[in-house]
Structure 1
């Protein structure tokens, strides 16, 4: 039978003491590290080091980045971990051009503001200037250059008629709205909402403000059957039809619907 190795307890005791001392030291070092990390976090949170240092703005076209950042107030000694996002987003959305704003943290001291804007559906021409009209009916600041991305409305003196047409324009498909260049208010005795449109495809259209979007829905199909070389007016009211220019001059063609129909 093999002899069992006997360890002298007097030799073992120093080893046990050393192991215990090492465990104690490791535990103490861990506590010290955690303590200083907590102190560092407290100092960081209470110091300007934790304030927002940079703000980026995405998605804005009409609203300037400067105005968005100013409305947010994020660069006014705001702590990164106390942004109060909902209140700040509400202040940004007070801008009539902005439909929604979302504030996000992107780093230890950086944030981003993502913007969604209301669509510009037309420009009102007044006093040699162009006023952007939003799909909400609100107006933005005037611009002097000729806009290209939306129809230009002219000769509208009634605010209610302007708003009604803006609402109708916001309902149009892109296929139709992109073909409209100018819209002129051309009222007649029994139709105060009569309008004349000059299209980018060369046609002239006569319609009315009431239910304008639904009346224009079939426009692409209607003009696809017409000869673009023949001048005339496309009547987009109850029953669409084309009236050649020579018929307009000679009065040979009768309208396909009652003039006052709207």
Structure 2
């Protein structure tokens, strides 16, 4: 009889009613709620430990990757800086006529063997300084060519003529600058300036001359300052074709453009006056 009761009890335990299951769950929750706090904390920490370990491993791997990458970059940079690739192998100068390649390199401070980092990113600054260092340079452009080549293209101020001082000829550029170096004979195709007592007057004359066409420039042999009371800006020109010209400095370039057509109509060598209007007359015999 006792054996049957146990069997019945086990059957009742295995098949609980919904109300009994609810009561059992509620009892279990009360038991957990009444449990010490350190037990709950230990459970929460235990749940978080695998996740914390994973996060720590990820951070460690990330830091190691950053350190290795930085170290590799530093090593490669040092190797590059010490290698010939970081220095200019060739410096090519183009556009220079009167200046030598060495003079251009001195003005630009760009030479073979220099570090690439002295130029890359500083091209415009170096070009501006070069123009200031050498008065003959009109414009400079610096172009880096990978891997270690650089091209320097220059535009020079043309020769506007020569000024005679103490039986020596000093070159004058189209920007009005007079060279400090003298020559025995002036270069053909450029005029000689004479009788100019004021540097400002000579400078204005040279700027006007620079505006002329190349054909008219090469036809002038000599330009003299020849002021009068009526015209303090008057100049006297001696042409290669044998004619002479009187003109005024302020409108010289504009008036001189008519000279070829006027000279072509002249039947004999003479004077072309461009001071007021434009007319010509033959030399007096």
Counterpart Cα distance in 1 of 2:107 and 2:115? 17
| Larger relative contact order (CA 8 Å, sep ≥ 6) | 1
2:140 matched to 1:105?
A: no
Partner of 2:157: 118
Unpaired segments ≥5 residues, structure 1: 1-36, 250-262
2:246 matched to 1:206?
A: yes
Unpaired segments ≥5 residues, structure 2: 1-71
What does 1:85-96 correspond to in 2, within 5 Å?
Answer: 85-94=123-132, 95-96=134-135
Compute the displacement of 1:173 (Å).
2.1
Compute the displacement of 1:41 (Å).
4.9
Partner of 1:20: none
Partner of 1:5: none
Q: Select which of 169, 178, 186 maps to 1:139.
A: 178
2:80 matched to 1:45?
A: yes
Q: Select which of 91, 95, 114 maps to 1:78.
A: 114
Partner of 1:28: none
Q: Could you tell me the TM-score, scaled by structure 2's length?
A: 0.65
> 2:162–2:186: 8 Å Cα contact kept in structure 1?
no
Compute the displacement of 1:209 (Å).
1.8
Count the aligned residue pairs: 211
Counterpart Cα distance in 2 of 1:232 and 1:133? 28
> 1:48–1:77: 8 Å Cα contact kept in structure 2?
no
The ranges of structure 1 where at least 4 consecutive aligned residues each deviate by more than 6 angstroms after the TM superposition are 37-40
Partner of 2:92: 56
Counterpart Cα distance in 1 of 2:80 and 2:130? 26
RMSD: 2.7
> 1:53–1:75: 8 Å Cα contact kept in structure 2?
no
> 2:137–2:155: 8 Å Cα contact kept in structure 1?
yes
Distance 1:201 1:44, change over 3 A: farther
Three-state SS of the structure 1 residue aligned to 2:114 is coil
Q: Select which of 117, 127, 142 maps to 2:166.
A: 127
Three-state SS of the structure 2 residue aligned to 1:93 is helix
- CA offsets 1:40-81 (integer angstroms, 9 cap, x no match): 853542214121132121111233321221233333863325
Counterpart Cα distance in 2 of 1:181 and 1:142? 21
Partner of 1:18: none
Counterpart Cα distance in 2 of 1:116 and 1:149? 20
Q: Could you tell me the TM-score, scaled by structure 1's length?
A: 0.71
Partner of 1:21: none
Larger Rg: 2
Counterpart Cα distance in 2 of 1:183 and 1:82? 46
